[in-house]
Amino acid sequence: MDKLSSITRFKAACPYLGRTKSSTIRTLYTAASPRYPSLSKLTEKATQCPVMGQALTSRSTQMIAGYASLAGSAEFNQIPEHHNVMPSAADAAKCPHASKAMAAARMAEELAQAKKGKAPNCPAASAAKPATAAPAGCPFHANASAPSTSEAKAKTPSGFDYEQFYATELEKKHQDASYRYFNNINRMAGKFPIAHTGDPKDEVEVWCANDYLGMGNNPVVLETMHRTLDTYGHGAGGTRNIAGNTGMHLALEAEVASLHRKPAALVFSSCYVANDATLATLGQKLPGMIYFSDVMNHASMIQGMRHSGAKRVIFKHNDLEDLEMKLAQYPKETPKVIAFESVYSMCGSVGPIKEICDLAERYGALTFLDEVHAVGLYGPRGAGVAEHLDYEAHKRAGQSPDPIPGTVMDRVDIITGTLGKAYGAVGGYIAGSNDFVDMIRSYASGFIFTTSLPPSNMAGARASISYQKEYNGDRQLKQINVRDLKSRFEKLDIPVVPGPSHIVPVLIGDPALARLASDTLLEKHNVYVQAINYPTVARGEERLRFTVTPGHNQEQITRLASAVDSVFTELGIKRTSDWRKEGGRANVGMANPEPVVPVWSDAQLGLLNGTAPKQLHTGQRPVISKQAVTITREKFDDLLGPYVGPAEPVAPLPKEIPSVNTITASIPAAVAAATA
């Protein structure tokens, strides 16, 4: 990151750097050019600048001259054997001088080709006219890159100017600072929650992933996926009704149904698709149906209701009085669906599930509950907030798939969830009655006409659900870490949007400042947290959304709090006390705020009887439940055969990026070592 900081210091001097976001510069700087492998994408762009292009040409010439004495084969052949370098071209890489000379020559050649707009070693490109790819906003190119009138006419198609339309729409995003930048972040299985950027040597701490429990690298999940991959291959082979209906898909759906104690479940390629397809189908099939939708519902739910063509009535967020007033305007016999969420992911609020079920029964409505940000994280088995509201009853029932009459989860008609967040996999699902699920299976285009997910993904998701049903420790430790971070932020006057869930949203209140705060944390503190801007949140409520996992240790939490405090001071971002002086925003700094009661009680976390899991310290590995691993393995005996592990445990998961064969061989050893 040090070199990148040096580049960004020249933003004021260079028009291109000045108008380009730091995150874009970072992406260009860390990504290799596909046409010129020895150059970064940023260097390739710089060759088109009349200032930097000349400087790069001059510098590459100097580099070649510096290594010229060893650049030729004759000189290379004179290298003495006592340096253990044999005189052959194949051994050039063993000599630091010769290898650098070759690299310098290669870079100089590619710089020259990039400047001319030619692809390396491509006769067709050499014969073609060089393309003018001037960096946008550079005044030096204002005249040189402007096409003549005849060229402009030749490049503009007759009729509608589609490219200009695209450019105009993108410019709107840039102007209101809502343009989305995607960072190259590669989470490392052996170093969770550490990831590397486009450069594998450039490591950062990830503080915004939705892999809430770190199940994406849980050893029994990886082991199961490898076994399935070796047995059934990669792809599913088709849609569910053609060739993609495997035993792994059916077993996963049975696992999901059991999790929510519902008769049936159906798996989709994502929960966005599950919500969209299910709500669209319900609205199309139920005659005269009316949706009652929380104003803060996820885009997938909104899109599904729109696709249905049914009437949609919006009620204020978590406002039971507003919802009841609107329900009362329609006859009880009119088909109705109340669509809402358990945990709202951008503010951390929790829906009043029990009370909405009461209203639904009173006014003849179905309940559609999205538990996407709650499954795996709440309840004694991880079934979500609906299960958590009757914690002791579900704990006593153990792993019985039968419904518990009168409980909140049993009263909810339709539950949707994801496999791609707390379960660390991919996919989404619905759970409900047999006939409801069968109707969606039979009519929903989003389910019928898409290739089903690979068996290995289904196996990994099922293993993850099974493991979390048996082990409560990850959920408890996550909540303990969340409390720790929120407490540290509160002491530093960092404006956390108050909420009872695991979400830690920090209010920034300005889109450009939110992006700059994200970039500064990454560039100066190696902390990756993505800025959240409109339309995900309302304008003026832009924020950083932190997600803490059980894999984050105390030292990392301490460093994060210090880094955020430093960035707030450096950038002059408003703190809680500042928002309070302005009357508050997004429930931050409000006068007489309502007390926030966490969903997880102290007793449920084990804080009252001394059974709470301990926070990790640097160098400590997460706890892996031996019982949960054993039970999970046994569930796959019918399809994969009994698990046969190594004679002796070898080592934990690798900390570097090894070969595929090394990973495959080490998975069983990792489980054995972790559960020892």
Q: How far apart are CA 251 and CA 432, in angstroms?
A: 16
Q: How far apart are CA 369 and CA 339, in angstroms?
A: 6
Tell how many helices (H) and how many strands (E) occur in the chain. 31, 14
Q: Is 421 a catalytic residue?
A: yes
378 with 388: CB under 8 angstroms? yes
Which of 150, 120, 119, 116 is CA-nearest to residue 133? 116
Name the DSSP class of 83. G
Per-residue buried b or exposed e for 533-553, using 16+ beta carbons within 10 Å of the residue's own CB: beebbeeebbbbbbbbbbbbb
Bridge pairing between strands 527-528 and 203-206:
parallel
Kindly report the number of other CB atoms within 10 A of residue 445's CB atom: 13
Q: How far apart are CA 664 and CA 666, in angstroms?
A: 6
Q: How far apart are CA 235 and CA 239, in angstroms?
A: 11
Strands laid side by side in the 504-507 sheet: 504-507, 543-546, 531-532
Name the DSSP class of 90. G
Q: How far apart are CA 220 and CA 215, in angstroms?
A: 9
> What is the full DSSP assignment across 189-237?
TTTTTEEE-SSTT-EEEE-S-S-TT-GGG-HHHHHHHHHHHHHH-S---
Q: How far apart are CA 327 and CA 196, in angstroms?
A: 50
Q: How far apart are CA 296 and CA 348, in angstroms?
A: 11
**Encoded tokens for 543:** 């924020």
Stated as kind and residue range, the H or E segment containing 523 is helix 511-525
Of 421, 469, 478, 574, which residue is the catalytic one?
421
Task: List, by residue number, the catalytic residues.
Answer: 421
